[in-house]
């Protein structure tokens, strides 16, 4: 059984990562979706350059093309699922702490439901 990807939804039903993906140019969207396919196929065995562990059980799915550097933060849930929490286009060397905090908050909300 392969791993599956699920998207975090807010209480009002919004899906922030899907919204982020739809905001990308077609090539950027294709690049990050390809990385998600690798994640589903290889599961936790997928490592850098595609995945980086950030701490607090949060991982960073990484993709880039000539137009940008794309990140989706996620965590691993039961039943071989990855929960996509937060997406952003990276503009600095280090992942901004505020983006990690958003992912941690959403992870807590997901688990508490």
Over the chain, what HEC string results? CCCEEEECCCCCCCCHHHHHHHHCCHHHHHHHHHHHHHHHHHHHHCCCCCEEEEECCEEEEEEEECCEEEEEEEEEECCCEEEEEEEEEECCCCCCHHHHHHHHHHHHHHHHC
pTM summary value: 0.95
Task: Report the pLDDT averaged over residues 56-70.
Answer: 94
Can you give the residue ranges of every domain in the chain? 4-112
Query: If one looks up domain 4-112 in CATH, what number appears?
Result: 3.30.2310.20
- Please say if the pLDDT value at position 97 is more than 90: yes
Q: Give 66's pLDDT tier (boundaries 50, 70, 90).
A: confident
Q: Is the peptide bond before 49 cis (omega within 30 degrees of 0)?
A: yes
Query: Token digits for 6?
Result: 């699920």
pLDDT given at position 92 = 84
Supply the mean pLDDT for the chain.
Answer: 95
pLDDT given at position 31 = 95
Closest CA to 83 of 6, 2, 21, 4: 6
């Amino acid at each position: 059984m392969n791993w599956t990807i699920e998207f975090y939804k807010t209480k009002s039903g919004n899906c922030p990562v899907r919204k982020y993906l739809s905001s990308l140019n077609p090539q950027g969207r294709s690049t990050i979706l390809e990385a998600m396919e690798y994640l589903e196929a290889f599961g936790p065995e997928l490592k850098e350059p595609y995945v980086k562990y950030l701490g607090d059980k949060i991982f960073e799915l990484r993709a880039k093309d000539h137009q940008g550097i794309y990140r989706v933060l996620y965590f691993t849930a039961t039943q071989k699922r990855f929960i996509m929490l937060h997406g952003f286009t990276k503009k600095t060397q280090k992942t901004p702490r505020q983006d990690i905090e958003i992912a941690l908050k959403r992870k807590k909300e997901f688990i508490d439901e």
